[in-house]
Structure 1
Amino acid sequence: MVLEFLKYAYFNITKGDDMNDILSKCANKAYMDLCRTIKFKTVDGNIKAEYKAKICDMLVNEYNALCNAVNACSSENEEQEIFDNEHNRICEEIIKTYSEISDFTYGQAQKWLNMMLKYVLLIEEDSVLKSYLHIPVDSYIMQAVGSNNPKLKYCLKLECVPKKSGTVGKYSESTSKPWSKWNYEEYIAFQDSIRTAIAESDYNSPIEWENEAWIEVAEYRK
């Protein structure tokens, strides 16, 4: 009963919703995690709503494509590579479409796709994509990855956070490049660094670590 209440309260998901309904609601919810960073070229609310719906509809279809692509692979390494390629293709499609009404970046596209996939995982915990999911990048995760703060036990303490200067290093609120301005090269290098660190840990997947690390930073920042 509690789970059904939370699904409705947070995602507006009801017992009568099928998988496509769930995917659509997760995509719409994910939009809220990046919308404040978007610089629109229009003030027309109807146009904004139209393009948001376009992306959400696309993400519903692409979720199934991601699952099918992974299921068709013969090895775990191949599955991750295929997932990464499909993930990049989807992000580029989001950018291509949304750039018609805004200055849209790879950092924003990854947030939309990654948060949608994370929300689906919260509801469908046995998703075949779980092991391959990317970490949704925001300032909390940047801090969790690149901070030496002794109060944050889940910090990876890596020097891989993109900086405004064009280099990488530890996380700094003043010198780190905002995630919403990242390009693909910065993004995938960041993800690869996390994967390498997690592979040497007790976590089964990066997204498993992300859940604990993000909450810890959120609590610390209160």
Structure 2
Amino acid sequence: MKKVRRKMMKMDKYMSCVDFLLYSTFRISIREGAMSEDEIIDKLIESAYQDATRQGAFYALIKKEYENNLKEKANDARDEAKKELKNKIIKFNTYDEFNNWYNDLCEEIIGKFKKFNEEFRDSKKKFEECNKEFKEISENNEPLFSYGNAQKWVNMTIKNIYVVGALCEIMNIQHRFCEISKKFISKDIEKQLHIPIDNYILESIWNEENKKMWEEIEEEQKETQSDKSSLVKEIYCKNNKNKMKKYSADVVKPWSKWTKDDYTLFKKKFDENIKIPENQSPLEWENEHWINIALQKRK
């Protein structure tokens, strides 16, 4: 009995640590009675949105001089998209074909931002026509909220749910939220999950080992994309065709500007060329590679 009691006390201590970690990271608590599963999902979606909009960089591009209440309209679009995302997450069924579910959801999110993107483009154009000294080089009238932002929002929401759900399993926590998280941790689904694409992940696979993938993207995009909108801009150094350039926005289009075609092409070539170990899910692979780059950045 004493051993059981000591074990329970130890678990209680660990539980308080986990609870603190989750609250400081996501503003959620899985302590019994503290928050409903509805509130937890809301917070995880909000955290993912911050990642998807690059911690505020998205809003920094909406200059006050553009007027037209664009920031408020962006928030309105966000709120509408959030409702759709939350509804789809809660109602997700493991019998659904994940890729179809995923693609439809990203399209619906983009649809919620369509009016905002149009008003942003028109307001920006009008401002620049009246203020030539502020004119920026516009890349094909690209939307401010892109498919790249949408994929990051959806994928990070799922990842947040996956991470918190995994912690609940490790700690043997019983919470109604777990009924949602278990769907994405299930063996049938976790292998189908998409990796959230960001600079760290792109940099982690920009190397000699994976140059074939980048060459295939470069070759295939020639049929559908102009040089200005290319996903891969330039792989090798001009003075040394055998040496890959250093990873930067000059060699691969920033993920926040990706179109659906960019994402589809990248995902196709990634799946064909990157071999994720059988004992890993895509998100476990992503965790490892993301952290490796993050640690390198500290040096």
Within 1, Cα distance between the matches of 2:102 and 2:154? 8
What is the SS of the residue equivalent to 1:175? coil
What is the SS of the residue equivalent to 1:188? helix
How far 1:30 moved relative to its partner?
Answer: 0.9
Q: Indicate the structure (1 or 2) with the bigger Cα radius of gyration.
A: 2
- Report which stretch shifted further, 35-44 or 183-192: 35-44
Match of 1:4 in 2: 19
Q: 1:93 and 2:108 equivalent?
A: yes
What is the SS of the residue equivalent to 1:100? helix
Q: 1:146 and 2:146 equivalent?
A: no
Within 2, Cα distance between the matches of 1:201 and 1:157? 19
Within 1, Cα distance between the matches of 2:231 and 2:83? 36
In structure 2, stretches of 5+ residues that fail to align are: 1-15, 118-142, 167-181, 219-225, 236-243
Within 1, Cα distance between the matches of 2:158 and 2:75? 21
CA-to-partner distance for each residue in 1:89-133, whole Å, 9 max, x for gaps?
111111111122233211111011111111111101243342221
Within 1, Cα distance between the matches of 2:18 and 2:231? 44
What is the SS of the residue equivalent to 1:207? helix
CA-to-partner distance for each residue in 1:143-180, whole Å, 9 max, x for gaps?
112224xxxxxx75553386783264577312211111
Match of 1:124 in 2: 165
Pair 22,156 (structure 1): closer, same or farther in 2 beyond 3 Å? farther
2:247 to 161, 164, 172: 172
Within 2, Cα distance between the matches of 1:110 and 1:167? 16
Describe how 1:63-212 pairs up with structure 2 within 5 A: 63-65=89-91, 67-68=92-93, 71-72=94-95, 82-102=97-117, 103=143, 104-125=145-166, 126=182, 127-128=185-186, 129-148=189-208, 159-160=213-214, 165=227, 166=230, 168=232, 172-173=247-248, 174-199=250-275, 201-212=277-288
Describe how 1:45-60 pairs up with structure 2 within 5 A: 45-60=71-86
- TM-score, normalised to structure 1, is 0.79
Within 1, Cα distance between the matches of 2:261 and 2:79? 28
Specify the code of the residue in structure 1 equivalent to 2:49.
Y
Contact 1:145 1:194 in 2 (8 A): no
Specify the code of the residue in structure 2 equivalent to 1:72.
Y
Within 1, Cα distance between the matches of 2:231 and 2:72? 40
Match of 1:219 in 2: 295
Match of 2:36 in 1: 18
Superposition RMSD in Å: 2.7
Match of 1:79 in 2: none
Specify the code of the residue in structure 1 equivalent to 2:264.
I
Within 1, Cα distance between the matches of 2:276 and 2:21? 34
Within 2, Cα distance between the matches of 1:217 and 1:89? 31
Within 2, Cα distance between the matches of 1:134 and 1:210? 10
Within 1, Cα distance between the matches of 2:107 and 2:49? 16
Within 2, Cα distance between the matches of 1:131 and 1:187? 19
Specify the code of the residue in structure 2 equivalent to 1:218.
A
- Report which stretch shifted further, 32-41 or 131-140: 32-41
How far 1:197 moved relative to its partner?
Answer: 4.3
In structure 1, stretches of 5+ residues that fail to align are: 74-81, 149-154
What is the SS of the residue equivalent to 1:160? helix
Identity among equivalent pairs (%): 29
Within 2, Cα distance between the matches of 1:158 and 1:30? 31
| Residue correspondences, number | 205
Pair 205,189 (structure 1): closer, same or farther in 2 beyond 3 Å? farther
Contact 1:107 1:180 in 2 (8 A): yes
